[in-house]
Amino acid sequence: MLTAEDLAIVALSLKIALAATLVSAPLAIAISLLLAKRRFWGYSILNAAVHLPLVLPPVVTGLLLLRTFGHRGVIGAWLESTLGVVFAFRWTGAALAAAVMGFPLMVRAMRLAIENVDPKLEDAAASLGASRAWRIVTVTLPLAAPGLVAGMIVAFAKSLGEFGATITFASSIPGETQTISTAVYALLNDPAGDAQAMRLVWVSVIISFGAIAASEALARRARRETR
Amino acid sequence: MSLHVQITHPLGRITLDVTFDATSGLTALLGPSGAGKTSVLNAIAGFLQPARARISVDGDVLVDTARGISVPAHQRRVGYMFQEPRLFPHLNVRHNLQYGRRFATNLRVSEADVIELMGLAPLLTRHTSQLSGGEKQRVALGRALLSGPRLLLLDEPLASVDTARKGEILPYLDRLRAELRLPTIYVTHNMDEILARADQTIRLVDGAIHS
């Protein structure tokens, strides 16, 4: 059975992954729309920047986050002095690291879903009087919804398993930033930690199955609704 | 109501070059496929930006390339029935019909009238996937009418419907013509279905009007 400590680690992991997914989703939708619908100066730069965390070693992404959002980072110092918001070595920092790492996966799925919406339907909406923004809200996004949700689930799963950037930027502080991944790593270095590590491993397997089942169920429902 | 159209636009190896006026009633735009018929409709509706054009409805300019005017498609109030019905698959029949209503400024027909005119009452709660080809076209036409258009563009509305079903739609077009008197441009390559109904006929061959 899970101990109180195990449960705390699992709860914190879920909180971090959920926060990372929900906070980054609106930005991911906006950027996916931009990449799918528009061609503009700096398109390739934005596209590359979005995909960067997918290609960079996670430790490097973590280090860049530390330099940017850390106590002495360009944005981090400003946020701390003006708004009192601190990311480094806090659970919010772990969420930021998870969000950054999951972002390219979320955008890829969302962008594909938006590109798959038949532009002829958007033209039909325009001929009926709908402005560009209204067409996006009432036609494009509802029809892309299964892909948007799929993107969020993939990002959530990625956030849950994130290790490199999280441990570099937020460390593995029990009760504050220690997630399932970083806890398992810490337990591996502890001769008495084997049993707890295995318990956490089983929990992550179960959560992963749950997430995949949920995404399949959502996709099936969406297919039924749009058919 | 009157529509003035003057378009010059390169289309692949041909050049679209048409000038015509259409008044209340049915204008049949005939011609073989590839003659540029759909491009004329797309230029009127705002989905094609012509190289040179002047298009106006009752003196209200939609496009005037000489003055750099091109009203966005959603502000033109042109009812367009595309070759395929293009119904919104995530909405049922009633919600498809109501889609353009919020934008209609001076609606000349009520929703009830359109439902009656197009015979849609039994279909309202249906999902679009549960409709036949002819039913889909009737919903598409009803949806266009409820967006408060100043004119109607019908692009081969019978092309995707088999011969047996054509008889199911033509009477609705006749009722529409008799009761709403909207200037209507009807594009087809099949003359029989429309010649008897047209107030004016324009033949388009390789982008140019043949009288």
Burial of residue B60, with CB atoms counted within 10 A of its CB: 0-12 exposed, 13-18 middle, 19 or more buried: exposed
- The answer to whether residue A81 neighbours chain B at the CB level (below 8 Å) is no
Residue A23 phi, psi dihedral angles, 5° rounding: -75, -35
Rounded to the nearest 10 degrees, the angle between the axes of helix A58-69 and helix A91-115 is 120
What is the maximum span of chain B, computed from C-alpha positions, in angstroms? Answer: 49
Residue in chain A lying closest to B147 (CA): A128
* Overall size of chain A counted in residues: 227
Q: What is the mean pLDDT of residues A183-195?
A: 90
Helix, strand, coil in percent for chain B, rounding step 5 = 35, 30, 35
Residue in chain A lying closest to B101 (CA): A128
Distance from CA of B211 to the nearest CA of A (A): 30
Q: Which residues of A fall within a CB distance of 8 Å from B89?
A: 121, 143, 226-227
Q: Which residues of A fall within a CB distance of 8 Å from B88?
A: 121, 124-125, 139
* Overall size of chain B counted in residues: 211
ipTM: 0.91
Interchain proximity B90–A225, CB inside 8 Å: yes
Interchain proximity B73–A131, CB inside 8 Å: no
| pLDDT reported for residue B164 | 65
Q: How confident is the model at residue B182 (pLDDT cuts 50, 70, 90)?
A: confident
Q: What is the mean pLDDT of residues A89-116?
A: 94
Residue among A127, A139, A226 minimizing CB distance to B78: A127
Residue A119 phi, psi dihedral angles, 5° rounding: -60, -20
Q: In this prediction, what percent of chain A has a pLDDT beyond 70?
A: 97
Of B115, B110, B109, B41, nearest in space to B78 by CA = B41
| pLDDT reported for residue B158 | 77
Bigger pLDDT: B117 vs B147: B147
Q: In this prediction, what percent of chain A has a pLDDT beyond 90?
A: 65
Residue in the structure block whose two tokens are 């070059």: B17
Tell whether the model's pLDDT for residue A81 goes beyond 60. Answer: yes
pTM of the model: 0.87
The helix or strand, by DSSP H or E, that contains position A222, with its residue range, turns out to be helix A194-226
- The answer to whether residue A128 neighbours chain B at the CB level (below 8 Å) is yes
Tell whether the model's pLDDT for residue A227 goes beyond 70. Answer: no
Cα(A219)–Cα(B95) distance, integer angstroms: 23
Tell whether the model's pLDDT for residue B37 goes beyond 80. Answer: yes
Interchain proximity A123–B129, CB inside 8 Å: no
Q: What is the mean pLDDT of residues A25-41?
A: 94
Bigger pLDDT: B189 vs A151: A151
Bigger pLDDT: B167 vs A70: A70
| pLDDT reported for residue A110 | 94
Q: Which residues pair with B14 in a beta bridge?
A: B11
| pLDDT reported for residue B25 | 84
Q: Indicate the SS3 state at residue B29.
A: strand
Interchain proximity A225–B73, CB inside 8 Å: no
Residue among A123, A125, A132 minimizing CB distance to B99: A125
Interchain proximity B147–A128, CB inside 8 Å: yes
| pLDDT reported for residue B70 | 94
Residue among A120, A128, A227 minimizing CB distance to B100: A128
The helix or strand, by DSSP H or E, that contains position B4, with its residue range, turns out to be strand B2-11
The helix or strand, by DSSP H or E, that contains position A55, with its residue range, turns out to be helix A43-55
Tell whether the model's pLDDT for residue B180 goes beyond 80. Answer: no
Tell whether the model's pLDDT for residue A53 goes beyond 90. Answer: yes
Bigger pLDDT: B68 vs B182: B68
Interchain proximity B89–A143, CB inside 8 Å: yes
Average pLDDT value over all residues in chain A? 90
- The answer to whether residue A124 neighbours chain B at the CB level (below 8 Å) is yes
Residue in the structure block whose two tokens are 């003057």: B6
The pairing of beta strand B26-30 with beta strand B52-57: unpaired
